[in-house]
Structure 1
């Protein structure tokens, strides 16, 4: 298996069909593949060899699709950079993976000096923008137009395809290594879980640097569909694009879905072409889901459950269980059934499988499971012990094989579809000399699903306000990781072993919630 296979199929089966739309730009499959082959040649001329990492710091565009396929066509490994990270965090991911080439667009070019300051690996910058390439960078168009189109390197199977950085429980991001098999079969498995017709028009509003956005793109290419790309999620633009391009399918994080339903344009746009909405990446409350199904009666809804390490989907709640008839089965609160390529079991702390309807840790086995964490053999061995990916999520399987996710074993917060690891935020806060103890966890939030909440105990005689704490966090970590609510307390619950009893602080917030995680 290799991720570039759909490009070869497209050249044979539908070379003149519309492959991608980005604003005024249109490309057929023949045109897109030509640019991909040219970019691959340009990257090779800049020193990219098989297995070398190439990063991209940019908003969604047709150029992002060219980057993903161009690097892989040329034999490299993609390292899509989280656009919400600080310069320090970006530099860490570049240096950790020895990423020497970075594509960057107009939106983030101002960050480049700070990234260069903190990164020792970065050598070559490719400017992806409409303006003239700044000094010290190479223009994307010039690179493609002056480079020879090269044959597909056709790296495949267990060859490394992507390193996707996700938050680390020790305070540093971890690079998830996904092979060609992982990405290709992950996309196939998700498609089998909720089949959709070939050659449909799909809208990409989720960011391509995120595994869900990237795999949605790969999955649509496998079906030779038309990619409609928006730079980011703006409700009015999404609704307009669905109407303008007759979009048939879209992937949305629940917060995005809520914003679409709430927008005044929702009532005036013609959304009759929309046939499929897939949702996931953060909790979806049943009230919102039922509202969406009522407001979009002709649309098939399906839920996807997974994580970056699983490329990313391993369970799907198919459209049938969202229908009026299907809801009689009572499965709407579940995360669905394992995809045809995924094995899921629930285990106790000693990794023994537990009976149905017993809560334990969700573990997964199958061809979509990551190769490991880049340069982190101990964490890899721990996560993949016994041949199963240990998700850190707590859940159970019912007697019909449906998976229910009830909480998180690891202290991870999913806010607006982004993973936030509490240890990283806590480590940042504890750098402040005024702070004696802190606990960070997720609490329910109507807009974001969860928000980052911090409980702080100050040292005696110290003074610190919310604004000072927030400013400090923003200097060190991405804004979405910073606490959105802060609570100062005089005492914090501590166990006899001296550990903070975080659950005692967190549980009151979730007491009346029927679902803790999506």
Structure 2
């Protein structure tokens, strides 16, 4: 059978080229490429024997573990569709995704059995439960679950699967900042090229032209990269696939909570070369751990710190450079719907915005004004950051959101990311941030991310969110919700003076509110809605 741009086909080609090379490390569990492939084959045979067919949806409801990636590959091998379930979701979100996703099977950590029992009635097609052991003693029989390793044991390790397709799906559920989760329908070929560089991240040969090319992209000296975010998030899942399809060694953060000291210990023990974070939410505790533990770890193997999936502020990038002066810092722009849409190394071309990417035939700024047909932006014009070409096929079970996000412009389908952007006079694109959070103050547009970037450069600020609150004169005024560092006293004058060194005066916060811990959605993304309510309530206000 001819290989396709299918993630299972591509992984098998890599596993055959470097079978004995270490593929995966998670805590005490270590697997070679041959072992990971054999385990995935066994689980694939178990799923197929229990009625899971091509196109069926299989929930993955787990913390980071070796079984997560093995189960994902097992789904791909039989053309089933893995569905990421956020383990932070509470009952209402779980009810929604168990109903919306049409799962027929769910592979889950044992501790989630009570939560599944509470919502399983919403999943009319869900019949098969496979439980990964943990420290809990939840009763498997309460949902008729079978132990993962018991299920896998004795199954066929060989590949005797049907031919696959480049159009097979992976569905990535994303919570965004508002509303219930949305299932982004990614064909394998599209996500391979849009989010994984087409296999060309570590090779001078660049992206693959045909599936078999993936073997030639495997380098002689494998890189060791750690994915610090949960695999249930797109940025971490993509990074994991990038590493495995390059024949590199993937290290997972097996900790249930994020602890900077524990992470650096893993990095030192495993001689990690590349550290992949998700924005400032991870950068801050990692940097704090370095400050508090000078010279504790040998981190000399690290040569790349990269971020994707959230804002990686300039201040935190500079802080990493102090500890790793020769390390390459990368900041990827993208989203669950857009994949990787560019990379900024911290050298911004403009004083404003989050960074710059290159305009191409498949990356542009679209003007989608009410009452007018969508069109491409002219030089100097602002609009919505958009992508064409390798994009998803829409949202699962949501034609209304699909129609609003995937639009036609001059006969080509474009994905609107929701991020405001400007087409600069030199043809590059400056990305500003989520347009729905944009603050209009006296007719001036202010992007919260830019103000947050300035705030986080203040030594006394641990983290910050910025929202607009109603103002009688200006329409909206800039309000900052700040989580201060322990023992630090902050006041409005000090914060404003600091911000004026980084951003224009009209963007400077007009009020600050101190909070013990910044609100975040179950997805881990900033919860601007809750932050705005906190500011509007007047709580934590500091003069």
Pair 448,209 (structure 1): closer, same or farther in 2 beyond 3 Å = farther
**Cα RMSD (Å):** 3.5
Given candidates 177, 184, 191, the residue that maps to 2:192 is 184
- Aligned pairs for 1:189-204 (under 5 A) are 189=197, 198=219, 199-204=222-227
Contact kept in structure 1, 2:108 and 2:131, CA below 8 Å: yes
Given candidates 136, 140, 157, the residue that maps to 1:134 is 140
Return the offset for 1:36: 0.3
Pair 453,394 (structure 1): closer, same or farther in 2 beyond 3 Å = closer
Given candidates 314, 322, 339, the residue that maps to 2:341 is 314
Return the offset for 1:98: 0.9
Return the offset for 1:42: 0.7
Question: What is the CA–CA distance in structure 2 between the aligned matches of 1:454 and 1:155, rounded to whole Å?
Answer: 52
Question: What is the CA–CA distance in structure 1 between the aligned matches of 2:531 and 2:349, rounded to whole Å?
Answer: 38
Aligned twin of 1:362: 385
Question: What is the CA–CA distance in structure 2 between the aligned matches of 1:294 and 1:50, rounded to whole Å?
Answer: 50
Aligned twin of 1:100: 104
Aligned twin of 1:389: 415
Given candidates 306, 320, 323, the residue that maps to 1:292 is 320
Contact kept in structure 2, 1:347 and 1:363, CA below 8 Å: no
Aligned twin of 1:301: 329
SS at match of 2:530: coil
What does the per-residue CA deviation read over 1:142-191, in whole Å, with 9 as the maximum and x for residues that have no partner? 1111322353445222222224243486x332211111112211234387
Q: Could you say which structure has the greater relative contact order, defined with CA pairs below 8 angstroms and 6 or more residues apart?
A: 1
Return the offset for 1:403: 2.6
Return the offset for 1:412: 9.5
How many residue pairs get aligned? The number is 438
SS at match of 1:366: coil
Structure 1, unaligned runs of 5 or more: 414-440, 456-473, 492-508, 510-518
Question: What is the CA–CA distance in structure 1 between the aligned matches of 2:132 and 2:97, rounded to whole Å?
Answer: 20
Aligned twin of 1:225: 248
Pair 245,346 (structure 1): closer, same or farther in 2 beyond 3 Å = same
Q: Do residues 56 (structure 1) and 60 (structure 2) align?
A: yes
- Aligned pairs for 1:449-468 (under 5 A) are 450=465
Given candidates 337, 343, 347, the residue that maps to 2:363 is 343
Pair 195,234 (structure 1): closer, same or farther in 2 beyond 3 Å = farther
Contact kept in structure 1, 2:349 and 2:356, CA below 8 Å: no
Pair 193,202 (structure 1): closer, same or farther in 2 beyond 3 Å = closer
Contact kept in structure 2, 1:22 and 1:62, CA below 8 Å: yes
Pair 244,342 (structure 1): closer, same or farther in 2 beyond 3 Å = farther
Q: Larger deviation: 285-294 or 245-254?
A: 285-294
Q: Do residues 156 (structure 1) and 165 (structure 2) align?
A: yes
Q: Do residues 245 (structure 1) and 270 (structure 2) align?
A: yes
Pair 248,56 (structure 1): closer, same or farther in 2 beyond 3 Å = same
Aligned twin of 1:89: 93
Question: What is the CA–CA distance in structure 2 between the aligned matches of 1:174 and 1:88, rounded to whole Å?
Answer: 14
SS at match of 2:108: strand
Q: Larger deviation: 258-267 or 293-302?
A: 258-267
Aligned twin of 1:425: none
Question: What is the CA–CA distance in structure 1 between the aligned matches of 2:301 and 2:246, rounded to whole Å?
Answer: 18
